[in-house]
Amino acid sequence: MKPSDSTRFLISTFAAAAMLAAVPAAAQTTVVFPGFVPQDPINSASRELWRLVREKCVPGDRKVVVGTASLPTTVQAFTQDQGNHLMGAVHAAFSRLPDLEMAPFSDIGAVLEVQSVGLLSSPNAGAAEAMLNRVEILIQGSGQKVGANTNFSLKAIGRLGTECYLNVGPFVVPSHLAGEIYIPAENIFGKVASDVWTKSRGPNELVVKARTPTGIELDRHLPDHFTRMMSKAVSRASATASEISIGNPTKLSVVSPDRASFESDKRWDADVVVEQRRNGYHISIEVSRKDDTPIFSDGLVLADEMPALQWAALGPSTAGRTGAIASIPRLGAVPLRIEDQIDGRRLNHQYAFSVARESYVEVDLPMDKIRGPGRVLPIDVLGPGNRPLQTIHIANPARPNLRRYKLAPGQYTIKVASPGPARHDYLLRARAVDTSTLLEPEAPGRLLSRFQDWYAGYIQDASGQRTCYAYTPAVEITPRGWREQLPVIWLSAREDHRGEINHLLDDKRNYAEDSPIYATVDDAGQMRQINVSSPEDGNFIQPMVLNAKGEPVLNREAIRGYNNGSTLELRGTTQDGRPSRVVYSLQGYRSAVNALSLACGRRDLANDLVWR
């Protein structure tokens, strides 16, 4: 079967649109169109584009079939995960508009390719070709990275005799909507170092300063850390440079502001801005030189990529190896991280800290950071008189070194004891939040990405096998004082297809024993109840139902609710008899599951858990 004229027109239009989108748009400016909502750009742009389609291309009130592409035409502005996420949001936005029918294809472009080689003529193709031949309007996206922003445009392209080529945008898509990908910090520094090296000739100076966007003082260790990172990045750029300037070789010296000495035409100023985010930091670097175009690079890095303190004197109870006494740190939401070691020559190490208000305090020795014959080390928090304090958390066998406390304002001490004569190297993590809020869950293993309210990542065992996961923390929880940490929805599966999909909604041990728990999904304002259960031999509430054999199976209604709904709500009874309520956001669910599927090479998971 040969492509029809309309198919050839559409494929050529794809190429034309891609060529136009590939034109450098450094001068591209964003536009404000009627009804634009900066906080909700995808939905408001979709509404405006559909209004224009109805006005200029398909007047009247007849229903029109619309298809969407799965990726923007300019992929250099996005990772594959981000592109899928944005176009998934576009698909969802158009699905909510009146007088149209969405084609069931996640990518109409791919379906057209299949049609062009005759595969849709197969009896196995079902009604796919019939539906394809009804699609009159194709929705595409395109985008470009412009400094710290992502500019995005939506296009409506006509087919099957419908003449239409409309564009809305470009408009700014905030990073949390485009999807945030966690990358190594060295990649951010490496990009600017390479660009600076390429534009430098002869001796040049690169002056590195670091700050927060709000003016809050940075940790005193970070400016020097960033200067060292830039020095390493410049060394790599020098080693991999493809051009060598004969007679005037490039020499780029990286210094802190107090050591700057070059004239402005030979001096690059690097402004490193560090902003705290959930589970990490956003780092942006802008490098400028007199009469030169600024160079920009940014990205999201994990908290564990920031430098840990070495063995240090953290208070009067912990004089350092040199006998120096340091000030007592005040714990906050960002974990204090200390690298240290202990053996039989010393009974314990003690680290003093303080909290300013009544706080939930968490201390941990992550098992994957311990080097030594054991993985469990004795750890406690001591109060007045060096007495061990009572923990408040439910024990987690996967994190045996974890401790949580509810502490009044004051000074306390963390004690890590020696388990025996052998040396153990470890990383101590400690954090605290005011009891008016709750501790944020910390992602295990390697966190890869965040899409709105959902995260994706993987855990890798000693054999190299991955378990990939997606999760979201609760956005609302009552009553106050019920929990010290936000509960999560957790989905995970193994790379090697062994075992079932873990699909957990909460820990049932936080609820009154044998009390019912109800789950509902908000689907466009309609609250739909879904069945949940808690196996007798497990600790978790799951969206499971029993099949004809009495075996628990995945609740398909729950998955439909995840895909179509905006929130999922659990209602039950606390251990002390109070009514309880936990609300989860479903914004970003599809994209996080797609990312988990890609991370483990499990496209079957996306087929099972993501429905258009």
Query: What integer pLDDT is reported at residue 559 of this predicted model?
Result: 82
Question: What CATH number belongs to 185-305?
Answer: 3.40.50
For position 25, what pLDDT does the model report?
39
Tokens 């609760």 identify what position? 474
Residue 537, pLDDT score:
67
The answer to which of 206-215, 501-510, 545-554, 563-572 has the lowest mean pLDDT is: 545-554
* Fold of the 336-434 domain: Jelly Rolls (2.60.120)
Q: Which band of pLDDT confidence, cut at 50, 70 and 90, is reported for residue 166?
A: very high
Could you tell me the pTM of the whole model? 0.77
Reported confidence tier of residue 452, pLDDT bands at 50, 70, 90: confident
pLDDT of residue 407: 96
Buried b (16+ CB within 10 A) or exposed e, 6-17: bbebbeebbeeb
Q: Tens digits of per-residue pLDDT, 293-310? A: 889 888 889 888 887 765
The CATH architecture annotation of domain 446-609 reads Sandwich (2.60)
Q: Strand (E) positions, 86-179?
A: 100-102, 135-146, 149-158, 165-173
**607 vs 323, which has greater pLDDT?**
607
Domain layout of the chain by residue ranges: 5-178, 185-305, 336-434, 446-609
Q: ∠299-305-309 over CA atoms, to 5°?
A: 140
Whole-Å CA distances, 159 to 7, 20, 155: 8, 19, 13
Mean pLDDT over 243-257 rounds to 75
The pLDDT assigned to 316 comes to 39
Most confident of 14-28, 112-126, 252-266: 252-266
Pick 425 or 536 by higher pLDDT.
Answer: 425
Q: Does the pLDDT value for residue 516 go beyond 70? A: yes
Backbone dihedral region for residue 372 (phi beyond 0: left; psi -120 to 50: alpha; all else: beta): left
Question: Cβ-count burial of 520 within 10 angstroms (0-12 exposed, 13-18 middle, 19+ buried)?
Answer: middle
pLDDT per residue over 177-198, tens digit each? 778 889 999 999 999 999 999 8
End-to-end CA distance of the chain: 28
pLDDT tens for 7-56 read: 332 333 333 333 333 333 344 577 778 888 888 899 999 999 999 999 99
Kindly provide the b/e burial profile for residues 162-182, where b requires at least 16 CB atoms within 10 angstroms of the residue's own CB: bebebbbbbbbbebebbbbbb
* Position 313 pLDDT exceeds 60: no
Instruction: Give Cα 53 distance to the centre of its chain.
Output: 34
Read out DSSP for 444-470?
-SEEEEEETTEEEEEEE-TTS-EEEEE
Residue 385 has pLDDT above 80, yes or no: yes
- Span 404-408, average pLDDT: 96
Q: What is the pLDDT of residue 84?
A: 78
